[in-house]
């Protein structure tokens, strides 16, 4: 009988074992050879060979000893942090924030740079990335990927920005210019999508494969996660619910113009502030207005009720199509509204549709877009570095 053994199987098994060991060292390390063997189910000999292989390739290093019983102490191993670095960048209309992390995920530096006095986006990003890497004491050659979170549309085919409402200087061709300038892979991703990545990793959507995240701020956006993956749509416009044509507000006829889109007019930060003002709560922003309404107790209830009624139109429209089990309210307005707003939106959505998703506020209060950018960059670089461990 002819053999059915596939060529290269031992090499593939070594690669899989190496990757499993590296992931364990990232999440559980430092570990001894014996501990790695126990956790991976490998024999002592195979585990020792695995560690030697990873050590030879410069991916792991000895970081100490573990005292045992009789006999010599066991060596502890960990992933070498300097193997590779990534930079995440959160791009806003007034500033960019960049952070540099090593391959273990440890953030080594964070920098901010104003964008108000420049019309050179390449220069702004270049300076932010170089400063972050320098302050992290990372050589630029070890920065394997830069991921930028930006408002607006990112073309899934080319990876370039096609439309950013409040970033007029960001345009097609910018991606190629940044890659040429930085001499490293650069990738754009919609900022709300990156917030959803962060929420799935360490926020309210942990362990949830299907959910939507509604970003409530100056504008309104939606991130869609299906089967644990972001859904971008054919043009990158999936989730642009600010453009939902809803009743009660003017509907712009040309979405590319600077007119504020319909649902954004109805439920964006300015609209929230107007609702609060009608009920006697004056505030500088929609988030401040909601905080004031919540602090007022019963007197602030009508503000929350009306804001929830408006938001529910967009949430319900999305949920009757996608039917997710979970909706996360994020952004400065969603965060400020907290559980009080989320519960009202949940009740209203259930009242006007056949779907009953759980609606909760974000659990991430600090820089979710930046965290998501770093996560996406790390996942890609780990696949590149750890996926090529067997020669």
Which residue did the predictor score with more confidence, 255 or 142? Answer: 142
Which residues make beta-bridge pairs with 61? Answer: 78
Tokens standing for residue 303? 């503000």
- Look over the chain and give the mean of its residue pLDDT values, rounded to a whole number: 91
Residue 255's pLDDT is 60
* pTM, rounded to two decimals: 0.91
Distance CA 314, CA 303 (A): 18
* Cβ pair 171, 154 in contact under 8 A: no
Nearest partner of 195 among 336, 381, 373, judged by Cα: 373
Per-residue pLDDT reduced to its tens digit, 240-261: 999 999 988 888 887 655 678 8
**Distance set, CA 68 to CA 4, 48, 74, 330 (Å):** 45, 18, 7, 48
Residue 391's pLDDT is 45
Per-residue pLDDT reduced to its tens digit, 274-292: 999 999 999 999 999 999 9
* Cβ pair 228, 209 in contact under 8 A: yes
Backbone phi and psi for residue 102, each to the nearest 5 degrees, phi listed first: -85, 180
């Amino acid at each position: 009988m002819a053999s059915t053994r596939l060529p290269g199987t031992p090499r593939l098994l070594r690669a899989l074992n190496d990757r499993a060991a590296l992931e364990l060292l990232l999440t559980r390390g430092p570990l001894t050879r014996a501990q790695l063997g126990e956790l991976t189910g490998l024999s002592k000999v195979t585990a020792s060979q695995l560690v030697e292989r990873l050590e030879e390739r410069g991916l792991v290093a000895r970081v100490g000893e573990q005292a045992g019983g009789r006999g010599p102490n066991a060596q502890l191993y960990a992933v070498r942090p300097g193997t590779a670095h990534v930079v995440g960048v959160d791009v806003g209309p007034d500033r960019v924030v960049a952070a540099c992390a090593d391959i273990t995920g440890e953030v080594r530096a964070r920098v901010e740079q104003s964008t108000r006095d420049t019309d050179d986006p390449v220069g702004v990003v270049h300076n932010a990335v170089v400063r972050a890497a320098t302050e992290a004491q990372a050589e630029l050659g070890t920065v394997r990927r830069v991921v930028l979170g930006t408002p607006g549309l990112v073309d899934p085919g080319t990876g370039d920005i096609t439309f950013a409402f409040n970033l007029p200087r960001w345009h097609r061709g910018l991606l190629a210019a940044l890659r040429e300038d930085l001499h490293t892979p650069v990738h754009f991703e919609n900022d709300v999508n990156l917030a959803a990545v962060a929420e799935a990793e360490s926020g309210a959507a942990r362990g949830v494969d299907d959910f939507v995240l509604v970003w409530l701020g100056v504008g309104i956006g939606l991130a869609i996660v299906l089967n644990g993956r972001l859904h971008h749509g054919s043009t990158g416009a999936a989730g642009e619910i600010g453009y939902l044509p809803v009743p009660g507000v003017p509907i712009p006829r040309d979405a590319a113009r600077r007119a504020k889109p319909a649902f954004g007019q109805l439920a964006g930060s300015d609209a929230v502030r107007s609702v609060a003002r009608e009920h006697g709560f004056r505030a500088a922003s929609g988030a401040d207005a909601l905080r004031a309404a919540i602090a007022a107790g019963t007197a602030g209830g009508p503000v929350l009720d009306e804001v929830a009624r408006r938001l529910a139109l967009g949430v319900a429209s999305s949920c009757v199509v996608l039917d997710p089990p979970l909706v996360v309210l994020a952004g400065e307005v969603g965060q400020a509204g907290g559980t009080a707003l989320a519960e009202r939106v949940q009740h209203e959505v259930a009242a006007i549709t056949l779907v009953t998703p759980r609606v909760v506020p974000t659990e991430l209060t600090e820089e979710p877009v930046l965290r998501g950018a770093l996560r996406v960059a790390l996942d890609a670089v780990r696949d590149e570095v750890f996926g090529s461990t067997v020669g």
